[in-house]
Each structure stands twice: as structure tokens, then as C-alpha cells.
Structure 1
């Protein structure tokens, strides 16, 4: 059924870059193969196909209303769009898809039923066999909306086709969610290793949840956070894969048009909307929604060069920042530099500083789960304890479970660790100590608000202790980095400019110890 002319004539450009098309109607029940008027035959399927064209910059989201009659137990959707050749350096066509049910499409509303982004070309919503990324449940009568997200449109525009198939019959048995436990066995107050940015087949990952859990155990992790893009559907399956040895925490990666952020520590089944830009002033609202659940707001890979991935919302509503994402790159170098600058600003103003964290963002083989990882000092291996440890910055980040550090500052008969404050007289000697293992030939750097103040190489065993002395009058904070040797085998050197990174890849990085002059 070609409704192209009708749809474009009936399209309405609404607020927030939404184009609403004319609704798709279906035959009355007795015309759909019913045995009696108003009684559809079980298993009857009716299909409609819609085509259209979008110009560059037409809308962030295209809403296709679908009028669903009574007696439907499944809605199946497939779509295609053209991919014409474009000049080098010009974005080609890319279009996401998802669906909202009869409860509506309001921002942050209750109507969300699933999103697959561009990871698949078809999906099914019903009570039992719903496609990953989508929420199982009844197909109630009313106006549903298929949502297209044309986040890249070629200069020639985008031709698209959407096919909708309704199946009639009684609803299947209700889906029984299996949410993960809030607590694992743990070791009491201790350091716990985790990866807080992971994807499965519920968004654009290739791994099953079972494979992610197995990979986490293989990596020596104590906990992981499920962060599929723009959907909460995976929450309901993780209970089958956690255990005394592995805590699985619910989360989501919210992929807006102005950057991605992680919502960590969500209540089971909680979904966070992503359909806004920085200019819409909606981000603080959803940050508050996460915090009301005890969760964390974490800008992800803030310097990622891909379209719509660079962070544009600022950091006032953030609880931590992901400064290291996957294998070490220039993007991470920039993120650490920005984070370090924010540390200096926070110390100067007396405001709370923003903790750093690191995650793998692993989607599929060969991406390694737990490379890198965040190591958290927590009271217990539970959702509240892990989230609180990250919030307070009682963390360091490491390349793998083979890398371990211990970082302290001692002076005036007192000692402080990561994220703690050591208050001493201005001229009291303070000994900063870093114990390292797992970085053969690595370079230790001590960095303060003045920049790098000490550098020392480890031996070939990769295990050693580095001590440096300062005072609270000279350093407002001290943090530590451990770098691998550069590709040519030499240690990194400060202020070296050139085509390659000025330092070798990161092996570990700590949050700061704050030094404060005693009144």
C-alpha cells in the first residue's frame, strides 16, 4: 500500500524536531478473515506498507501512527531505507527504529515499548517472543507509534519503507521477568572490580547476556552494569546469569544527538528517555530521574569522534565521567586532560570534584570485556554500595585485573587514601606513595594542580613502589597515573609534541587525594 503522497501531505512538523505522519489504518475485524462479524480468526495476519522520503534536516524523529484494533496479539515491523553514494567526508543515510504503544509518545512517558536503533531491520512485539530490545506485553488497542530516527541523511535525502503486520488472536501467557539480585556474596569492605559499560543483543551488541556474564567472570570482575542503548529490556533477563560471584546492576546508555551518557544503578525495568538535544534543556530532568533511584549520571566517551557522540551537555549534572573507553586512544587522552582541568577548578572553588571511571564499552568479539575496568572500594558487593563508592570517587581504573595499585598520602601522623582529604600544616612534609603491580617497564606519574611533579620508571617485573614528597602548600591534590612504555620502548616525556601520543598507553589511573592546609 503506497501512501507516500498522502503521508507527506498529512505530515506535521511538531516540537523538538518531530515529524508526525498520517496514521496507518487496518481493515475492520470482520474483513480480516473473521468467522463472524467482529470476531477475527486466530492467526490472521494483515500487512500494510508505507513509503516516504525525508530531506536533510527534516526532523530528528519521524512518528508513524498505527491504529491497532481489538483482538491483536502481535505487531511485527520491518523497514528499509536507501543508501545512495555520497561524496567523501559527507554522512550517508542512517536510520534508527523503535516503537511506542497506545499510552503515547510523551517525553519520558509510559508508552515506550522498545528500540533497536540501527542494529536490526525488523522486530516483533507480543507477550512472549518479543525481539531483544523490546518489552514483552499485550498489544492493546489504540494508536501505537513507530518511531524512525534518521540521524544521518544524505544530500539526496532518504527514501524509506515501513511494513507493519498485525496478527489477530488471544494474548499469550504473560512474560515473567527475571531481574538480577541487588547483592552478591562479596568480601565485606574491600576493592571490587567492575565494567560499567557493556552491550548485548538487546541493542547493538553481538553477545548474548549469557556470553557477557561469562566474559565478566573470565576477566576477573566482581560486578558489571548492563547499559544497552536506549532500552531497559535486558534488565528482565539478567537474573539467570548473576550469582554469588557476580553482581549485575541495571543501567542504560542514553544516546542523544549531543552525546551519550550512562545511567548506572537503575531500578529493575526503569527506562530513561534520550529524545532531546542540549538546547532542549531536558537533560537535567532525566539526570534527576536517575538520582531519585539512587543511580549515577556519567557522560560516556566525551571526545568520541563519531556523529552525535561528543558530549555537549556540560558536567554540572554529572556524578562521574568516563575518561577511558576501550583500548587507549587520543580521545581518552583528551578526556583525562579535561577531567584534570575540572579537578583544578573544583579545588579552587571549594566545590565537589568529579570522579573518573573507565569501562570497556564492549559490543562483540574481539572487544574485551573488562578492558578497561573501574575498581571500587565499597562496603559490600551490592548495588547501593558499589554505586556509592563510585559516587564518592573511591575508585581507580585499570587496564585489567592483572593491574593493581595502592595509593596513599601520609603527613603529620595522618594518612589519606583515594578520594580522601589529608589536612596538615602548610609546610608539613607529605609522602605520596604508590604501590604498583602488573605493568612491566611502566612509568609512574604523580600529577597535581601544577601538572606532573614526579616521574619514575618501574622495572621489568612491573611491580614496585614509588614515593614522592610534597606539602599541602604546594599541591591542592595529587593523583597517579601508570603508563605502559611507548611503542618505541621509551618512557613518555612531558611536553613532547609529535604525531604520536606523548605518553604510552594508560595502564592505571587513580582519583585524587586532596591536600588541604590546616587552619
Structure 2
């Protein structure tokens, strides 16, 4: 049916996830596929469902069709139903004809009432162009998860989360991600509108520089987990850059979910005082991870589970580009957020995310166990990171952030510092510390090794500022070995003596007192361990016995 210059073709569901394409706008090929659905496992890593294709009149008629007038539009509406247990990704092929200037997509789905504790409907959306949907392929054109109900793509511009560029002829694929499906199932509707005409001028990319004016070899502060309106954040890029500067940061990493679309705008907001590094939060169905230090414009695929054996492939892709791989908020309670891929392909791990919670306490414990395993097995150790994961107010950019020792304020130097574990985590720029081990005439700092005779005395020293009534903890492979409070002004020096025979590594924590003002909260071991929320956390320094 046509109305006000738009042709609407409504497609009704036939069975679970199926969609038909019939009527004047559909070609013979589309009709032949109209009553089947194809389950494709492996096309995109996790199990996927491909629906019958949607055609437009111009695509069906091919070269014999008259060229549509510039500005004219065609619309198709597809409806369908997904049962509980639907495939991770549902692909809706769209046959895009020649001469399309813009593609616009909107979608909706029902949200039936469910009992408390039962997952409700939640469905994400994105799109791949005529280059295909192969895992890690070149067809990606955008993703907005569940944050938007519509998007547009043209050569000149695109909705945040999507990549501007030509709308070339061929089979595009709208991808639905039924994140959760209620027991009643999920009814969905997708509307596709093509606007015909000549492509406009190409979008001009403005990638950020890979170097800012630094201080040479020094400690640099940065938040490596931040979101904008280009995924599910509510901050514009200018707001995030302004917040990073206000937090006293030297660098920040853009990590919008599953898309590289924001990379092309960050150049406007970088400056000599702020290095902006491009990255992505890769949101799989078995955990989230940060791809930090990606070459600008590079996209990392997320369409797989731990059982698909794909994570190592994409971690290698990140490293080839000079970046690092960091599991994020490993104990986040949200569905699909808990980390299931292990740590063999990780370069560091996020142990503190946003305001301090029990999730972070658990993550610190897991990380500390991994340190112990590394000492016992001689394998590489895994550095810790802390980031804000700020999406919107009242999230605080820089709470927490990383203080990284790097050769320069440059992307490669910052990545090298994090990879080497030459970093510590602070809740704010008001917190300052130094952490060293001295013995046998030598000294080592965070992330370094001090090699000394087994029984030579080693002094572990921490100088701290900015944590009033703070509690300093020294923790080794044996557990907590020393605890001491600092002054009401928050400034103090704590020194503890040990040997390489007694401690293979030492790391430091600085904790706040508990909210009621007491030094801390006891645990099942009584009053020996008294501490509150984290204010600062170091990576370890290692004590190595001579000859080992």
C-alpha cells in the first residue's frame, strides 16, 4: 500500500522467528525463501537465525526499473516472534537496490509483565552492509544495543553508534540481539525506509592524535573505561573530555560498546593537555572486555561465547594493532557480564570499577590468587587496572583511574606501561603515593623486580597523601603481612621489613575508614584485619632470591 509517497510492505510471521516477503515489492527469489528460516551456526560465532530477505521494488525489478526520483522513499515493515531460548543473533537480510542515498531503521518489541526474578524482554539492534556478516569481517556498519529505537546511515552522516559511508547495493543485514526473552516470547517489529538519490559528500573523520604534550618519562593519570552517546552513555564526547580534564587526568580511553563510531570525532576534543586513546568495550554473551589502544577506526567483533573459541582470535587482533586486552568488571551481576573466558589471553584485568563495591572486593581476591599462581608456576603475571565505566551522571569520571609510569604521554607508551604493570589505581587525583622496595643497595618500584640474597633485609616503603585516617595494608603471596594507619591529614609513611625468602611479591592497598568513622570493619578473623573502602591500590613489586 502507498501513502504520501511511501510504499509500506507489511510482513507477518509464520513461525518462530520467521518472516515472509510477498506482494508487489517482493521478487521471485524472495518469495521462494518466504516460508523458511535458516539456522546458521558459526556465521557469526554464536548461534544465529537468518530470516527470509526483505526486497524493495527497485531491487526486484533490477536494471529494468525506472530510476526513482531523488528524495523518494520506500518502506517495508517486518513483524515476527521469538520464543524463549532464541538464537543470540537474528539476521534480517535487506536487499538494497542501486541509487539509495540513505537507509533508516526503527524497531520495537513488546515487554510483557513477568514475575519478580524472571528475565524480561530485552533486544539489541545493529546492522551490517553488503560486505557480509562474517565474524570479524568488514561488513560492520553500526550497533546501538538497546539504547536506541532507530538509526540512519548515509554517506555524509550517521546516528551515533553507526558508521557513515555509501549505502551500496547488495544484501545488508539488520541484526537483532535478543539479550533476554520472557517466557511469553518476544514480538518484534522492524521498519526499513530507503531514501533514493545521489550520495552526499563523504563524512570527514577527525581521529585524535596519538601523542600529547607530556613530561617525558613520568607518571600519567588516565581513565580507560568511558562511554558516550555513541553507545549507551548519556554524555557527549565534549562532556567526557571536559570531565577527564576536571578530574586531573592526562589521558582517557574511549570504550563505547561494540562500535568504533566515536573514534572519528575525538580529534576535536583532544589537546596538548589530554591524550585521547581509541578503544572499545567488547560486549559478548559471556563477559565484557576492553580493547584499549586500538588503531583509530578499528572495530572488534563481539558475536561469540566462550564455547565458540573465538576470544583468542580477537585478542590477537588487538595486540597486532599495539593494543591491550583487559577483562572488565568480572563479577558484575548483570546477565552476560560475568567473565567466562579465563585470563590466558588477557594483558591486564579490571579489578576496580566505579565506586567501591563487593564486586570489586571479589575481583581483587581473584586477581591476588592469579598473582600467587604466577609466582608458583613462573608464568607471566597479570597487572590490575581500575576505571570508572562512567556512562552518565552521577557516575564520576576518574573514579577510579590508573596512574601509569610511561616514557611519554603517547598511546604506545601508555599501553606499554599498563602491560608491564608499572601502574597503580587511585580513586581521585587527590590521592598520591610512592611504593618501593630497597635492599642490598638496590631499589625497585611498582611492577619491577628486586633481586637480593634470600635473607637480606628488604624495606618496603609506602608514602601516601590524600587519604585522611587511611589504613595501609601490605599484602604478599602469604596474605596481609602489615597494617598501619596514617594521620588525620591523610599523609604518612609506612615502612615494613621483610626478605625475599618470606615474600615473593608485595602489593599495597590504602583503605578509607568505615562510614561510621571507625578504623574499619572486622571480619571472621577478629580485629586483625580492619579496613574500609579502597582509596588506592598498587600493582605488586617482586622480590627475587639471588640465583632464581
TM-score after normalising by structure 2: 0.92
8 Å contact from structure 2 (residues 241, 269) kept in 1: yes
Aligned partner of 2:439 among 395, 411, 418: 411
Q: Which residue is 2:13 aligned to?
A: 4
Q: Which residue is 1:396 aligned to?
A: 424
Q: Say whether 1:451 aligns with 2:479.
A: yes
Q: Which residue is 2:321 aligned to?
A: 293
Change (3 A) 1:20 1:61: same
**Cα distance in structure 2, aligned partners of 1:518 and 1:37:** 82
**Cα distance in structure 2, aligned partners of 1:365 and 1:311:** 26
Deviation at 1:444, TM superposition (A): 0.2
**Cα distance in structure 2, aligned partners of 1:478 and 1:268:** 37
1:187-236 CA distance string (max 9 Å, x none): 00000000000000000000000110000000000000000000000000
> What are the equivalent positions in structure 2 for 1:86-485 lying under 5 Å apart?
86-485=114-513
Deviation at 1:13, TM superposition (A): 1.2
**Cα distance in structure 1, aligned partners of 2:356 and 2:479:** 21
SS in 1 for 2:379: coil
1:165-195 CA distance string (max 9 Å, x none): 0000000101110000010000000000000
Change (3 A) 1:502 1:124: farther
SS in 1 for 2:168: coil
Q: Which residue is 2:3 aligned to?
A: none
Change (3 A) 1:424 1:86: same
**Cα distance in structure 2, aligned partners of 1:154 and 1:170:** 43
**Cα distance in structure 1, aligned partners of 2:460 and 2:69:** 76
8 Å contact from structure 2 (residues 59, 95) kept in 1: no
**Cα distance in structure 2, aligned partners of 1:30 and 1:364:** 45
Deviation at 1:243, TM superposition (A): 0.5
**Cα distance in structure 1, aligned partners of 2:524 and 2:147:** 41
SS in 1 for 2:11: coil
SS in 1 for 2:245: helix
SS in 2 for 1:474: coil
Aligned partner of 2:517 among 489, 501, 504: 489
Q: Say whether 1:20 aligns with 2:50.
A: yes
Deviation at 1:40, TM superposition (A): 1.1
Deviation at 1:39, TM superposition (A): 1.4
**Cα distance in structure 2, aligned partners of 1:250 and 1:325:** 19
**Cα distance in structure 1, aligned partners of 2:69 and 2:300:** 38
Deviation at 1:31, TM superposition (A): 8.8
**Cα distance in structure 1, aligned partners of 2:519 and 2:441:** 35
1:288-332 CA distance string (max 9 Å, x none): 000000100000000000000000000000000000000000000
Q: Which residue is 1:58 aligned to?
A: 86
8 Å contact from structure 1 (residues 30, 40) kept in 2: no
Change (3 A) 1:99 1:298: same
SS in 1 for 2:176: strand
Deviation at 1:491, TM superposition (A): 2.1
Deviation at 1:129, TM superposition (A): 2.5
1:18-39 CA distance string (max 9 Å, x none): 000000011127999x9x9521
**Cα distance in structure 2, aligned partners of 1:510 and 1:30:** 63
Deviation at 1:349, TM superposition (A): 1.0
8 Å contact from structure 1 (residues 29, 39) kept in 2: no
**Cα distance in structure 2, aligned partners of 1:267 and 1:14:** 31
The alignment of Structure 1 onto Structure 2 pairs a total of residues equal to 515
8 Å contact from structure 1 (residues 18, 59) kept in 2: yes
SS in 2 for 1:235: helix
Q: Say whether 1:72 aligns with 2:81.
A: no
Deviation at 1:14, TM superposition (A): 1.2
8 Å contact from structure 1 (residues 132, 202) kept in 2: yes
**Cα distance in structure 2, aligned partners of 1:361 and 1:502:** 28
Change (3 A) 1:515 1:493: farther
Change (3 A) 1:512 1:2: same
Deviation at 1:65, TM superposition (A): 0.2
Q: Which residue is 2:24 aligned to?
A: none
8 Å contact from structure 1 (residues 199, 361) kept in 2: yes
1:369-409 CA distance string (max 9 Å, x none): 00000000000000000000000000000000000110000
**Cα distance in structure 2, aligned partners of 1:386 and 1:304:** 27
SS in 2 for 1:465: strand
8 Å contact from structure 1 (residues 30, 39) kept in 2: no
Aligned partner of 1:41 among 57, 61, 69: 69
